[in-house]
């Protein structure tokens, strides 16, 4: 009997000792779960660098996905310069990493146009809307290990069923290029393309164009960017240049963790092609940035 009592005592003592650390672990683990649920142990979110993103938006070949939607109002359109034109450009920027710091940037541009009281060469007035063109710009941008960077690639433009009331009915192909410098708060450079007509109806204008866009931008520590550019397009057949000058300001903000930029400013046509926009206009752009 004594042996039986001894065995029972040993088993009871062992059970009590084993239960002590387990009993202590329960409230500790419960506290850990509560902390996890409250977010106290969650890794802190990485702060978004608004200034860096704002500078990249001023760089047309930055390694960053952006989706701009640009609205532009122009006046003085038509033979009697009594019409107006509203343009909506959808121009997403998609970079592809080639390794070693090299990138390939693709920028498709879809232009929708609305014209009001635009008089043609025959004196007839037109109002309506449609798709003007679909353009594809691309740049191979090698890693230069310098503040100076450049890019070059094929260029193509399609009339996309354009009736001729919103520009050329021709298809164009060519080459596009850009060179720029990132000097502290400043970003400046030149973007351009050379396009040749490869077919289509030349009645409403041709795609034999030379385009040059010098640009300058200054970004503040508060993610404000002040910019200016001039978009000169010379048509070899008309021998005329359309040359709007734009000056504007943009602000980058973070909305629910998503970078978003809005810009606006006036523009003035220093020169214009026959029937094209003239005088003063305005432009506004909303840009969504998608971080990788």
Give yes or no: residues 270 and 135 share one domain.
yes
Give this prediction's pTM.
Answer: 0.81
Are 255 and 140 members of one domain? yes
**pLDDT tens profile 129-150:** 888 889 999 999 999 999 999 9
> Does residue 203 sit in the same domain as residue 228?
yes
The confidence score (pLDDT) of residue 205 equals 87
Domain shared by 70 and 23, yes or no: no
Question: Per the structure block, which two tokens stand in for 18?
Answer: 């084993």
Assess whether 16 and 69 both reside in one domain.
no
Residues 260 and 285 in one domain: yes
Burial of 3 (0-12, 13-18, 19+ CB in 10 A): exposed
pLDDT tens per residue across span 45-104: 567 899 999 999 999 999 999 999 999 999 999 988 899 999 999 999 999 999 999 999
Q: Which residues, in sequence order, are CB contacts of 53 under 8 Å at separation 6+?
A: 64, 223, 252, 259, 261, 289
Mean pLDDT of all residues in 190-209: 93
CB 217 within 8 A of CB 247: no
3-state secondary structure 78-111: CCCCCEEEEEEEECCEEEEEEECCEEEEEEEEEE
Same-domain check for residues 113 and 60: yes
Domain co-membership, 82 together with 12: no
pLDDT bin (cut points 50, 70, 90) of residue 6 is very low
Domain identity same for 125 and 237: yes
CATH number for the domain spanning 266: value is 2.40.160.40
Tell me: do 60 and 27 sit in the same domain.
no
Q: Residue 58's closest CA among 218, 288, 184?
A: 218
Nearest to 135 by CA among 170, 151, 111, 115: 111
State how beta strands 232-235 and 258-271 pair.
unpaired
Question: What's the pLDDT band for 44 if we cut at 50, 70, 90?
Answer: low
Residues 19 and 100 in one domain: no
How many residues would you count in the chain? 292
The boundaries of the domain holding residue 16 are 1-44
Domains: count for the chain: 2
Q: Are residues 109 and 15 in the same domain?
A: no
Percent with pLDDT over 90 in the chain: 68
């Amino acid at each position: 009997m004594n042996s039986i009592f001894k065995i029972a005592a040993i088993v009871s003592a062992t059970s009590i000792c084993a239960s002590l650390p387990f009993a202590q672990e329960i409230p500790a683990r419960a506290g850990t779960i509560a902390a996890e649920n409250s977010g106290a142990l969650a890794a802190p979110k990485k702060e978004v660098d608004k200034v860096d993103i704002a500078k990249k938006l001023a760089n047309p070949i930055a390694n960053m996905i952006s989706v701009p939607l640009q609205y532009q109002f122009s006046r003085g359109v038509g033979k009697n310069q009594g019409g107006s034109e509203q343009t909506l450009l959808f121009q997403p920027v998609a970079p592809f990493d080639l390794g070693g710091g090299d990138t390939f940037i693709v920028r498709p541009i879809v232009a929708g146009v609305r014209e009001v009281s635009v008089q043609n060469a025959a004196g007839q007035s037109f109002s309506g809307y449609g798709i003007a063109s679909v353009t594809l710009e691309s740049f191979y941008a090698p890693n230069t290990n310098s503040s100076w960077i450049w890019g070059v690639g094929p260029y193509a433009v399609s009339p996309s069923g354009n009736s001729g009331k919103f520009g050329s009915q021709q298809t164009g192909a060519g080459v596009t290029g850009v060179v720029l410098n990132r000097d502290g708060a400043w970003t400046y450079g030149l973007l351009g393309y050379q396009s040749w007509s490869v077919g289509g109806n030349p009645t409403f204008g041709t795609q034999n164009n030379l385009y040059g866009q010098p640009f300058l931008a200054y970004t503040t520590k508060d993610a404000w960017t002040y910019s200016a550019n001039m978009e000169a397009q010379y048509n070899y057949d008309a021998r005329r240049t359309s040359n709007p000058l734009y000056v504007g300001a943009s602000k980058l903000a973070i909305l629910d963790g998503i970078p978003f930029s809005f810009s606006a400013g006036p523009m003035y046509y220093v020169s214009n092609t026959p029937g094209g926009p003239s005088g003063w206009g305005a432009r506004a752009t909303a840009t969504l940035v998608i971080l990788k």
